[in-house]
């Protein structure tokens, strides 16, 4: 190992109900001493652990990012000690020597030689914003599940509303569902509740709304609709809280919203998951690697093996892929052109992840340089390979038996 860098430090092996803490120090004669204790995880016990470490003159403390259990430890010790949070994969103990106390001693030993790479730790306000965005995402998932169960009840009653209406929970769909729950079963009257463009499908609606609705169907729909409205109310409350708490990061959010496909909620999720200080990431490539939206490197013996992406942040990847899907539907944009170009050869899923990677790289540079997004245009790839495209299309025309004479145009001059 390297020479000793930190003469006094402490390593923490954090678990749900206990923490193995090892204080390690170097004596003046060069001897290394250590003391290990096990503490509980209540606030009082964490304070006792802090007093014990201060008694040994410890200023630097390292711990693993174990689930959510490190957070209360960090909150109690923050301000009194210099803290380092490390990825457990980076400081894993030697196989065959794994106990809680030995893990704590191993972390302290690595820390003493400055071999603990710090993980990304957002400030408290960013952590609170992150918890809110993730809570909203969970509620949206639950709302989707409830909507699917409503569809199952309708299918069970042979109501084919989803075959005609694109959204059974839109204004028209909800009006029909309320009527069904109120006892209405006449398909003509139900179809007459359609609004806007759906009224142009009256004949199909009447056929789709003719089913066998029983009392238990109406009961199930009422329970599900009540649950759905409850979830929508909670989502609205969280979004209002997000608007209040995201005010300090409004500049970053507005910059990110200039990217095609990035709406307000996605921009807030970016702020919550990666923060707004891009100095903590040396490059956009390292940010993409940390987020898990770039191909992995796995090469041995000169052979390239599986390059699947690492796990990264599920929440960040989901938001980026949602933005990529929205960007792929925009008109005359670089991102939509990139999506179509990759999807034609590699498929939609890989194209979506590639565009998600591009969006994250763009977000990094926009915030780091404090500039707005500059659109390259949907014809960007054609412009950078004009000569190659000409050769390709001329060759294809000749293969089809068409004689072509090339003449210079204004674009060539």
Q: State yes or no: pLDDT of 287 exceeds 70.
A: yes
Structural domain count, the chain: 3
Give the pLDDT score at 196: 86
Q: State yes or no: pLDDT of 86 exceeds 90.
A: no
The residues that bridge with 86 in the sheet, in sequence order, are: 64
Q: How far is CA 336 from the centre of its chain?
A: 21
Give the pLDDT score at 296: 63
Contact predicate 46/76, CB 8 Å: yes
**Averaged over 132-142, what is the pLDDT?**
95
Give the pLDDT score at 197: 87
Question: 210-261 pLDDT, tens per residue?
Answer: 989 999 999 999 999 999 999 999 999 999 999 999 999 999 999 999 999 9
Query: Which range has the worst mean pLDDT, 15-24, 117-126, 222-231, 384-393?
Result: 117-126
Give the pLDDT score at 98: 76
> Which of 245, 266, 284 is at the close of a domain?
245
Domain span at 80: 8-112
The verdict on 216 and 320 lying in the same domain is no
Q: State yes or no: pLDDT of 328 exceeds 90.
A: yes
Our CA angle for 341, 345, 347, nearest 5°, is 95
Q: What percent of the chain has pLDDT over 90?
A: 61
**Averaged over 344-367, what is the pLDDT?**
93
Nearest CA among 188, 194, 1 for reference residue 110: 1
**Averaged over 181-199, what is the pLDDT?**
90
The residues that bridge with 63 in the sheet, in sequence order, are: 12, 85
Question: How many whole angstroms separate alpha carbon 69 and alpha carbon 18?
Answer: 10
The verdict on 253 and 337 lying in the same domain is yes
Q: What is the dihedral of CA 76, 78, 79, 85, to 10 degrees?
A: 160
Q: How confident is the model at residue 31 (pLDDT cuts 50, 70, 90)?
A: confident
Nearest CA among 377, 330, 321 for reference residue 350: 321
The verdict on 212 and 227 lying in the same domain is yes
Q: State yes or no: pLDDT of 302 exceeds 80.
A: no
**Averaged over 191-211, what is the pLDDT?**
90
DSSP state letters, 264-332? HHHHHHHHHHH-S-GGGSSSHHHHHHHHT-S----EETTEE---PPP---HHHHHHHHHHHHHHHTSSS
Confirm whether 2 is domain-assigned.
Answer: no
Give the pLDDT score at 297: 62
Q: State yes or no: pLDDT of 92 exceeds 80.
A: no
Contact predicate 40/14, CB 8 Å: no
| Residue 226: CATH number of its domain | 1.10.287
The verdict on 316 and 338 lying in the same domain is yes
Give the list of residues 6+ apart from residue 228 with CB closer than 8 angstroms, or none. 143, 146, 147, 150, 169
The verdict on 94 and 143 lying in the same domain is no
> Which of 46, 78, 112 is at the close of a domain?
112
The verdict on 207 and 153 lying in the same domain is yes
Question: 61-79 pLDDT, tens per residue?
Answer: 999 887 889 989 998 998 8
Confirm whether 377 is domain-assigned.
Answer: no
Query: Which range has the worst mean pLDDT, 17-26, 129-138, 312-321?
Result: 312-321
Which is it for strands 82-86 and 60-64: parallel, antiparallel or unpaired?
Answer: parallel
- What are the CA-CA distances from residue 312 to residues 73, 78, 368 (Å)? 23, 25, 22
Confirm whether 394 is domain-assigned.
Answer: no
> Which of 330, 354, 369 is at the close of a domain?
369
Confirm whether 184 is domain-assigned.
Answer: yes
H/E stretch holding 53 reads helix 43-55
The verdict on 259 and 238 lying in the same domain is no
Q: State yes or no: pLDDT of 265 exceeds 60.
A: yes
What is the chain's length? 413
DSSP state letters, 198-224? GGGGHHHHHHHT-----HHHHHHHHHH
Nearest CA among 79, 73, 80, 82 for reference residue 41: 73
Give the pLDDT score at 293: 85
| Residue 12: CATH number of its domain | 3.30.420.10
Confirm whether 206 is domain-assigned.
Answer: yes
Q: State yes or no: pLDDT of 122 exceeds 70.
A: no
- What are the CA-CA distances from residue 62 to residues 94, 108, 126, 316, 370 (Å)? 18, 7, 21, 26, 34
Q: State yes or no: pLDDT of 379 exceeds 70.
A: yes
The verdict on 215 and 281 lying in the same domain is no
Contact predicate 273/316, CB 8 Å: yes
Confirm whether 38 is domain-assigned.
Answer: yes
How many other C-beta atoms are found inside a 10 Å radius of the C-beta of residue 85?
19
Question: How many whole angstroms separate alpha carbon 184 and alpha carbon 152?
Answer: 19
**Averaged over 146-174, what is the pLDDT?**
93
**Averaged over 352-368, what is the pLDDT?**
94
Give the CA radius of gyration of the chain.
29
Q: State yes or no: pLDDT of 322 exceeds 60.
A: yes
Q: At what angle do helices 215-245 and 171-181 cross, to 10 degrees?
A: 140
The verdict on 201 and 96 lying in the same domain is no
**Averaged over 364-384, what is the pLDDT?**
90
Tokens of 156: 């069970």
The verdict on 167 and 183 lying in the same domain is yes
Question: How many whole angstroms separate alpha carbon 282 and alpha carbon 368?
Answer: 11
Confirm whether 384 is domain-assigned.
Answer: no
The verdict on 237 and 257 lying in the same domain is no
Name the residue with higher pLDDT: 94 or 388: 388
* Phi, psi torsion values for 39, nearest 5 degrees: -120, 155
Confirm whether 375 is domain-assigned.
Answer: no
The verdict on 263 and 236 lying in the same domain is no
pTM for the predicted model, two decimal places: 0.80
Question: 332-342 pLDDT, tens per residue?
Answer: 999 999 999 99
């Amino acid at each position: 190992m390297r020479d000793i860098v930190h003469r006094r430090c402490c390593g923490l092996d954090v678990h749900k109900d206990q923490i193995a803490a090892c204080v390690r120090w170097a004596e003046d004669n060069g001897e290394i001493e250590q003391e290990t204790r096990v503490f509980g995880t209540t606030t009082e016990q964490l304070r006792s652990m802090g007093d014990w470490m201060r008694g040994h003159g410890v200023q630097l403390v390292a711990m693993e990012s174990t689930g959510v259990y490190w957070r209360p430890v960090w909150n109690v010790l923050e301000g009194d000690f210099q803290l380092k949070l490390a990825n457990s994969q980076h400081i894993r103990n030697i196989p065959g020597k794994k106990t809680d106390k030995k893990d704590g001693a191993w972390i302290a030993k690595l820390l003493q030689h400055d071999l603990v790479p710090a993980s990304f730790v957002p400030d408290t306000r960013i952590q609170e914003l992150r918890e809110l965005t993730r809570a909203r995402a969970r509620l949206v998932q639950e709302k989707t599940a409830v909507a699917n169960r409503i569809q199952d009840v309708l299918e069970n009653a042979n109501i084919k509303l989803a075959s005609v209406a694109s959204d059974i929970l839109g204004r028209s769909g909800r009006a029909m569902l309320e009527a069904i729950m109120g006892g209405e079963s006449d398909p003509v009257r139900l179809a007459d509740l359609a609004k806007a463009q759906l009224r142009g499908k009256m004949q199909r609606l009447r056929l789709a709304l003719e089913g066998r609705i029983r009392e238990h169907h109406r009961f199930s729909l009422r329970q599900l609709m009540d649950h759905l409205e409850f979830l929508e109310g909670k989502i609205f409350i969280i979004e209002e809280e997000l608007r209040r708490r995201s005010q300090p990061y409004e500049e970053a959010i507005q910059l990110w919203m200039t990217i095609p496909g990035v709406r307000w909620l996605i921009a807030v999720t970016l702020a919550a998951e990666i923060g707004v200080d891009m100095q903590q990431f040396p490059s956009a490539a390292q940010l993409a690697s940390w987020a898990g939206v770039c191909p992995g490197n796995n090469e041995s013996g000169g052979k390239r093996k599986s390059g699947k992406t690492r796990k990264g942040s599920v929440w960040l990847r989901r938001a980026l892929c949602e933005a990529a899907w929205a960007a792929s539907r925009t008109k005359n944009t670089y991102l939509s052109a990139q999506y179509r170009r990759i999807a034609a050869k590699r498929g939609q899923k890989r194209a979506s992840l590639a565009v998600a990677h591009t969006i994250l790289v763009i977000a990094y540079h926009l915030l780091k340089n404090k500039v707005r997004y500059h659109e390259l245009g949907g014809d960007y790839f054609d412009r950078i390979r004009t000569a190659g495209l000409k050769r390709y299309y001329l060759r294809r025309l000749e293969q089809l038996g068409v004689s072509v004479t090339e003449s210079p145009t204004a674009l060539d001059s």
